[in-house]
Amino acid sequence: MGIMKRQDSTTGPWVLLPPNYASINAVVACSIVFTLLATIVVGLRISIRRSRTHLCAEDWLIVAALPFMYAEAVTALMAVYRGGVGYSTIEVFNADPNILTISLQCLFAMELIYAILITLIKLSVLAMYRSLFPTPLLRKGTDILGVAVILWWLAVVLVTFLQSRPLNALWDLRFFSTAVFLDKVGLFLGNAIPNIIIDVFILALPLYEVATLQMVLVKKTGVFMIFLFGGVTVVISGLRLQSGMSLLTDPTADVTHSAGSLWAWTVVETSMGIICACLPTVGGAIVGIIVRLITTPKATVRNESTSKRSGFKPIGTIGGGSGRAIHRPAFAKVKGDDSTGSFERLEDESGETSVTNLWPKGYQGERETTVSGRRISSEQSDDIPLSSITVKQEMCWSESKAASSP
């Protein structure tokens, strides 16, 4: 790859290109805005998760990705302010040859940081899938894709260190003429194309399970949109691929003047990857709020109307108000009973009196309860309800004289 640009691709004098301020501003804006936005979304995710349960593996993986995202943003800003990105290479070299060295070193560091960051994001998403959908299909799919992600990371890191012999020829121009380089176009394609393919498979993996969720249509549509929004990262990866190929396939491309778009798309891709990884948690809470705003007013109006016609106040139930007014007579307190209220407290499993389990005073009964459901290992993740829980109770209730006495 050339480091300066000619008027003609074959002949003509070297041209000093004007500064590409649009490219400079794009790298700076993307590095600051998208990094800040991703940080806020991760903060919301952690806050929501801690309010419901403790943090799991998928949460710690996304938290571990934050330092690498900051390192990538700092490297991009350093490439602009210290490495001359956006300015003509000949101008940078004439001003100070060390500036070009810094630019090329930043490019090498970005390759390593990008590989680690993308790997952590993908593993976080796969761990979340295993927690939300503990089915054989998802477990096998996440296992396969997890191995593919780790192998991709190992390959990228290995090739990054082997792309030049000696390695410092990548940024030290004194070794440029005698060094041996691997094909940069092939290396870039070998990095970007498998990355996009893995993204597509990760995006498609949970769609069948989402389609089988038992929930209202509005909420299911919202969940679908949350998972499909991850397709934005695939589009951005494609734009990054196009930007990199246009730079690498042009033998007369100015490496510092034209590299701005590649830097910008790299920062945007990783930041959006973190944001999309947090959407099932943050977006799930937003969808829940929207669904309540849409459905709750109608249910409230219907219950209030029923209550006015019947003259009785509806009895609240777990999961929502009763749709029909019910009047139940209260049990009379037995004389001589010093317990609070008309119910006696039952003993819990440890033999102590429970403060929550109540039984009508004077009644005797035997009760057997069976609870069943599909969720096995996902008790820690309650972001998206997967299926209903079935509760079966068998009760035998007999009345003693104490209850019937005046």
What tokens appear for 354 in the block?
Answer: 């429970």
Note whether 192 and 241 are within 8 A (CB): yes
85-120: pLDDT as tens digits: 999 888 888 888 889 899 999 999 999 999 999 999
Closest residue by Cα to residue 128 from 49, 227, 50, 56: 56
Note whether 46 and 59 are within 8 A (CB): yes
With a CB cutoff of 8 Å and minimum separation 6, the contacts of 313 are 307, 325
Closest residue by Cα to residue 64 from 49, 42, 83: 42
Note whether 58 and 124 are within 8 A (CB): yes
β-sheet bridge partners, residue 395: 367
Matching CATH number, 14-293, of 1.20.1070, 1.10.3470, 1.10.530, 1.25.40: 1.20.1070
Q: How far is CA 292 from the centre of its chain?
A: 23
Q: What is the pLDDT along the chain (406 residues), one digit of tens a residue?
A: 333 344 444 334 456 778 888 889 999 999 999 999 999 999 999 998 888 778 889 999 999 999 999 999 999 999 999 999 999 888 888 888 889 899 999 999 999 999 999 999 999 999 999 988 888 989 999 999 999 999 999 999 999 999 998 988 888 888 887 888 888 899 999 999 999 999 999 999 888 888 887 777 777 777 778 777 888 889 999 999 999 998 888 877 788 888 899 999 999 999 999 999 998 888 766 655 655 666 655 545 455 555 455 454 444 333 344 444 444 444 444 444 444 444 444 455 555 544 444 444 454 555 555 555 554 444 444 444 444 455 555 555 555 544 444 4
With a CB cutoff of 8 Å and minimum separation 6, the contacts of 249 are 185
DSSP for 330-356? PPPPPTT--SSTTEEEEE-TTSSEEEE
Q: Domains of the chain: which residue ranges?
A: 14-293, 343-404
What tokens appear for 324 in the block?
Answer: 């029909």
Coil, strand or helix at 397: strand
C-alpha to C-alpha distance for 291 and 365, rounded to whole angstroms? 41
DSSP for 235-300? HHHHHHHHHHHHHHS-TT--TTTS-HHHHHHHHHHHHHHHHHHHHHHHHHHHHHHHHHHHHHHHHH
Burial 88-103 (b: 16+ CB within 10 A, else e): bbbbbbeeeeebbbbb
C-alpha to C-alpha distance for 270 and 42, rounded to whole angstroms? 13
With a CB cutoff of 8 Å and minimum separation 6, the contacts of 187 are 159, 163
C-alpha to C-alpha distance for 98 and 86, rounded to whole angstroms? 16
